[in-house]
């Protein structure tokens, strides 16, 4: 959890509350009610955290039904060793999205109006004789050089972290 990338990812999944809880969970199989009783942490926050981890394949559970009360008890196991694999998948997805966006930005020409109603591709702007279909102002060429540069810098940065 000390790794800032890991920490950021965990905050995204389970929130700051969840990260705080995760740091206080005992090792081995756990029962949410027992952890709550032992630590005084809110049972609902513990459950929410565990189910969020489960959704992300970072925890699993087995259920046992109490034959007398019919209540289900969840016995949880954490699989934080899957974290790096999950991070790699997340990272690859993000890199792909940014690369596709860069490709889109560099292979198209964009037009916009002075009110910034929307961005129009050249083909679309030409169809309306370079008049904004929203506000009827003139459409003019939009320089996306800054955006292209930012996207391309981001990709370089991301690729550099892979090489580490």
Residues that bind Zn ion (CB under 5 A): 113, 115, 117, 132, 134-135
Q: Which is nearer to Zn ion, 19 or 117 (CB)?
A: 117
Q: Please report how close the Cβ of residue 128 comes to Zn ion at its closest, in angstroms.
A: 11
Q: Which is nearer to Zn ion, 77 or 116 (CB)?
A: 116
Q: Which is nearer to Zn ion, 51 or 130 (CB)?
A: 130
Q: Which is nearer to Zn ion, 87 or 117 (CB)?
A: 117
Q: How far apart, in whole angstroms, are the C-alpha atoms of residue 143 and residue 105?
A: 10
Q: Which is nearer to Zn ion, 55 or 137 (CB)?
A: 137
Q: Please report how close the Cβ of residue 150 comes to Zn ion at its closest, in angstroms.
A: 24
3-state secondary structure the chain: CCCHHHHHHHHHHHHHHHHHHHCCCCCCCEEHHHHHHHHCCCHHHHHHHHHHHHHCCCEEEEEEECCCCCCEEEEEEECHHHHHHHHHHHHHHHHHHHHHHHHHHHCCCEEECCCCCCCEEHHHHHHCCCECCCCCCECEEECCHHHHHHHHHHHHHHHHHHHC
Q: How far apart, in whole angstroms, are the C-alpha atoms of residue 25 and residue 45?
A: 13
Q: Please report how close the Cβ of residue 115 comes to Zn ion at its closest, in angstroms.
A: 4
Q: Please report how close the Cβ of residue 134 comes to Zn ion at its closest, in angstroms.
A: 4
Q: Please report how close the Cβ of residue 53 comes to Zn ion at its closest, in angstroms.
A: 46
């Amino acid at each position: 959890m000390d790794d800032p990338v890991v920490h950021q990812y965990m905050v995204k999944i389970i929130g700051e509350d969840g990260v705080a809880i995760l740091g206080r969970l005992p090792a081995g199989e756990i029962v949410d009610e027992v952890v709550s009783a032992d630590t005084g942490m809110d049972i609902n926050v513990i459950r929410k955290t565990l189910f969020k981890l489960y959704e992300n394949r970072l925890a699993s559970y087995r259920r046992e039904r109490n034959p007398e009360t019919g209540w289900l008890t969840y016995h949880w196991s954490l699989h934080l060793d899957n974290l790096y694999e999950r991070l790699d998948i997340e990272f690859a997805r993000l890199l792909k999205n940014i690369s596709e966006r860069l490709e889109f930005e560099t292979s198209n020409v964009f037009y916009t109006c002075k009110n910034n109603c929307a961005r129009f591709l050249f083909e679309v702007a030409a169809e309306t004789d370079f008049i904004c279909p929203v506000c009827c102002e003139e459409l003019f060429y939009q320089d996306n050089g800054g955006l292209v540069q930012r996207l391309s810098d981001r990709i370089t940065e991301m690729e550099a972290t892979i090489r580490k």
